[in-house]
Amino acid sequence: MSEKYVARSKAVASRTLGGEIVIMSAVDSTLFILNDVAAQIWLAADGQTSLSEIVKWNVCEEFEVNPEVAYNDAVEFVDELAVHGILQTSEHPLSPNDTGAAETP
Amino acid sequence: MSLFEKLNQKAFDLGLPLNVHMDVTYRCNERCQHCYLDHDDHGEMTTEEIRGVLRQLQEAGVFFLTLSGGEPLVRRDCFEIIEYARSLKFHVKLKSNAVLITSKQAARLRSLGVGEVQVSVYSHRPEIHDAITRLPGSLARTLAGIAQLTSEGIKVTLANVLMKGNAQDSEEVHILAEQIGAQYTLDPTITPMLSGDTSVLDLRLPSNELNELFHKSKLVGDVQAFCAPPPAVDEDVLDGYPCSAGHTACYISPYGDLFPCVQFPLTCGNLRHQSFSEIWKDSPQLKEVRSIRARHLTTCSSCGHLGSCTRCPGLAFMEGDMRGPSSADCEKSYVRTGIVSAGMIARQSASANLVQIAPLNFRSESFHGVA
């Protein structure tokens, strides 16, 4: 299985409102309101940390979930956000210069 | 409930200003017949002042930021403002006439992640559009600007403001929008000038043209549903709020004045003298606006249209009473459904009384309409 790296895109609007992270794509205006698990993945998507590590440390450590199920759900989630230009994915680490990952989400 | 509705409900429950419309200037390179603004600079906020306001808006939880004018691009620092807004992660919508948008600027707007550009297009015919903007060649330049935007993949919406002289072209403008890959929205609302001058209201569409418009499926979708009789007024309707103005949305003028909405010129404070959160939380004017439920509306609370009327509290305010009817919306409800509104009946009886006073007491000939 190849590794997956994810980074927050620059082409998004985002805000934490009442404890929930709200994200909107500037590419197609799709709106997402993230649940707790999705928020953990979003916040950790720095382009440098692999998705499997994010799931291991930020999801499985925080929530009582089966690691395999959690990883598969995470892949589905990041792929959906990638379609809308909200996350960038790569098999290699992504440079902060190419993404919005270094900025405050 | 859609995600947008859920987000709006959440903002409403938390008292968050989810949407802010900020005019960065009233200056403009067009002179549209129906415009509600003057086009002078009476002391616009500086770049630094606007940056400070944007930081406050971010802290307050504003998510959707509309930057408009006047023509925002006549400000030399417009891109600096947009760039700063995007760095604060606002969803930015720009309202522009697109006349000044070149390929370079369109590319920059895309790279900044601007979510949408809304452009006013009054007709597909230059002689009509240019007569309204009073800028020769403006339609050609606007369409060229739009082409630059769409070629960059930026979402563009054509705002088709309808008035006497251009309503007959609405379907063609809709077709134009489809041809150039833009969204289309129509707006038959002409508002008084912020100065209070109501002369522009003469441009409002007469009932027969509004009626024709509201029965075009190309423009309103399902005509039968759009023109259906209003739903019954129940307790939920009576407990409802007139609109989002002052609840989850507000307007900021180029001079820092804060209103509930761009169409609701009730000054609630000034950002040069008070912080945004201070005004948003403590302004007596905003508190008053927020206190009004549908059941508190004079005349409208007893109107059968209450559950579906597009009543604008700002237009009502400009007619003299923010709790009263807005005559333009009364007319729209009537034209849509064929059912007379309570506001129309009230106005009719008020004017009937005035007509009767003089003829009955003094001049019998005027009773027959001779005088």
pLDDT of the residue at B353: 57
Query: SS3 for B323?
Result: coil
pLDDT of the residue at B363: 40
**CB half-sphere exposure, B221, CA atoms < 13 A:** 7
pTM: 0.90
pLDDT of the residue at B88: 96
pLDDT tens, position by position, B145-158: 999 999 999 999 99
B61/A17 touch (CB, cutoff 8 Å), yes or no: yes
The CA distance from B91 to the nearest CA of chain A, in Å, is 5
Tell me which H or E stretch contains B139.
helix B138-151
Preferred mutation among B19, B63, B66 to probe A, highest tally of A CBs within 10 A: B63
Per run of 10 residues, the mean pLDDT along chain A (length 105 residues) is 87 92 90 92 93 91 86 93 92 74 46
Residues on chain A touching B7 (C-beta within 8 angstroms): 17, 22, 31, 33
pLDDT of the residue at B365: 38
pLDDT of the residue at A62: 81
Query: Cβ(A85)–Cβ(A26) under 8 Å?
Result: yes
Q: Indicate the length of chain B as a whole number.
A: 371
**Does residue B362 carry a pLDDT above 50?**
no
Q: Strands (DSSP E) along chain B, which ranges?
A: 19-23, 64-68, 91-96, 116-120, 156-161, 183-187, 249-252, 257-259, 269-270
pLDDT of the residue at B361: 39
Query: Cβ(A43)–Cβ(A20) under 8 Å?
Result: no
d(CA B243, CA B313): 8
The pairing of beta strand A5-8 with beta strand A12-17: unpaired
pLDDT of the residue at A1: 62
Residues 6+ apart with CB under 8 A from B70: B23, B24, B25, B26, B27, B28, B37, B39, B254
Of B1-5, B178-182, B251-255, give the lowest mean pLDDT range.
Answer: B1-5
Q: What are phi and psi of B258, to 5 degrees?
A: -110, 125
pLDDT band at B368 (very low <50, low <70, confident <90, very high): very low
pLDDT of the residue at A99: 59
pLDDT tens, position by position, B261-309: 999 999 999 999 999 999 999 999 999 999 999 999 999 999 999 999 9
B115/A26 touch (CB, cutoff 8 Å), yes or no: yes
Query: Cβ(A23)–Cβ(A11) under 8 Å?
Result: no
Tell whether A24 is within 8 A of chain B (Cβ). Answer: yes
pLDDT of the residue at B177: 97
pLDDT of the residue at B150: 97
pLDDT of the residue at B369: 36
Preferred mutation among B3, B89, B109, B183 to probe A, highest tally of A CBs within 10 A: B89
pLDDT tens, position by position, B36-71: 998 889 999 999 999 999 999 999 999 999 999 999
The CA distance from A42 to the nearest CA of chain B, in Å, is 15
pLDDT of the residue at A100: 52
B7/A33 touch (CB, cutoff 8 Å), yes or no: yes
Can you read off the two tokens belonging to residue B232?
Answer: 């019954």
**Average pLDDT score over chain B:** 92
Backbone conformation region of residue A69, classed left if phi is above 0, alpha if psi is from -120 to 50, else beta: alpha
- Residue located via tokens 């009509």: B128
Preferred mutation among A15, A86, A98 to probe B, highest tally of B CBs within 10 A: A15
Q: Which domains does chain A have, with CATH numbers?
A: 5-99 (1.10.10)
pLDDT of the residue at B354: 54
CA-wise closest residue to B262 among B197, B330, B194, B196 = B194
pLDDT of the residue at A102: 41
pLDDT of the residue at B370: 33
B110-126 average pLDDT score: 96
Count of CB atoms situated within 10 Å of the CB of A65: 14
Instruction: Find the residue in A nearest to B18 (Cα).
Output: A17
Query: SS3 for B47?
Result: helix
CA-wise closest residue to B323 among B301, B346, B303 = B301
Which DSSP string do the residues of A35-89 spell out, in sequence order?
A: -HHHHHHHHH-EEEEEHHHHIIIIIITTS---HHHHHHHHHHHHHHHHHTTSEEE
ω into B70 cis (within 30 of 0)? yes
pLDDT of the residue at B352: 63
Query: Cβ(B202)–Cβ(B274) under 8 Å?
Result: no
